[in-house]
Amino acid sequence: MSSQSAPLAVICAMPEEKAALRELMTDLETRRFLGRDVTLGRLEDHDVVVAESGIGKVAAAVTATLLSREFGCRGLVVSGVAGGLDPELHIGDTVIAHSLVQHDYGQLQDSGLKSFRPGVPPLGPDRQDIVFSVAPDLVERLQAIAADIDLPDLPAGLLPQSAPKAWRRRRVVMGRVLSGDQFINSDIERRRLHRDFAAHAVEMEGAAVAQAGALLGLPVVVVRCLSDLAGVDSHLDFPRFVAAVAPGAALVLRRIVREL
């Protein structure tokens, strides 16, 4: 069992995501690890170890596993941005994962991809249990934070002139987060992912860290602020919004650390 004083491992795929978190940390110390700078420090009086993993499932799972072994971490956190899938959500809103799925893992049939549970042989009873679920008591506590927290407005200059005022009120919701080794830039695919997986957001790391957490016996929290809506404009929205929305995930994480 990890002790309460053990640090939390925080995995960020991109430098913008890590930089947003560093802004909120104190007692910073940088160590070279995995060929990258790892930042040790305090977030809301909790020890954290933050690494930029690079993008994708393998990079994130390897980083999470090595951090947890090297620093004896008590939990794994993924903090950063995602593409929105739920049509109710807008750029700047945040999804905290209550469940995670690797949407690109499975058996490719003529009719499309049949999902299987990652890491489980494609035979036997567990293979269709594709969801990595966050423990119900933790979901309950995260839900209370989601309902309570207010995020600052996005800079007005970033929003289209035509954006209605309500668009700027940033929501924080619990939801299902999908991960795959694909940047989604397609209206057809975003609709399919939303429909087939009842998912709220898509990114490229969280469900891989969830798989690592399940193997390591560590709780996993994934916080994602929406940089785009994964549709035909996502390749334009992502670079425009990534640095502006990444601090949203970091602010939500600051409220969450004490629950882990």
Active site residues: 17, 228
Contact residue for ligand ADE among 89, 106, 234, 251 (CB under 6 A): 234
DSSP string covering 222-250: EEEEEEE-SSTTHHHHHHHHHHHHHHHHH
Minimal distance, residue 250 CB to ligand ADE, in Å: 16
Residue list 173-212, contact with ligand ADE (CB under 6 A): 183-184, 202-204
Alpha-carbon span 231 to 121, nearest angstrom = 33
**Residue 77 token pair:** 């956190």
User: SS3 of 215, please?
Assistant: helix
CB 61, CB 210: distance < 8 Å: no
Stretch near ligand ADE under the rule CB under 6 A, chosen from 64-72, 77-85, 99-107, 156-164: 77-85
Alpha-carbon span 72 to 58, nearest angstrom = 20
Residue list 81-110, contact with ligand ADE (CB under 6 A): 81-83
Q: Which residue is closest to ligand ADE by CB?
A: 83
Minimal distance, residue 141 CB to ligand ADE, in Å: 26
Residue list 139-168, contact with ligand ADE (CB under 6 A): none
227 touches ligand ADE by CB under 6 A: yes
CA proximity to 117, closest of 134, 98, 131, 135:
131
Stretch near ligand ADE under the rule CB under 6 A, chosen from 3-11, 16-24, 155-163, 226-234: 226-234
54 touches ligand ADE by CB under 6 A: no
How many chain residues touch ligand ADE (CB under 6 A)? 13
Minimal distance, residue 59 CB to ligand ADE, in Å: 13
Query: Which residues, at least 6 apart from 195, have a Cβ–Cβ distance to it below 8 Å?
Result: none
Residue list 7-26, contact with ligand ADE (CB under 6 A): none
Considering the complex, state which of residue 43 and residue 177 has its C-beta at the smaller distance from ligand ADE: 177
Alpha-carbon span 204 to 258, nearest angstrom = 26
Tell me the CB-side half-sphere exposure of residue 198, using CA atoms within 13 A.
6
Contact residue for ligand ADE among 61, 146, 222, 230 (CB under 6 A): 230
User: SS3 of 216, please?
Assistant: helix
Contact residues for ligand ADE, defined by CB under 6 A: 81-83, 183-184, 202-204, 227-228, 230, 234, 238
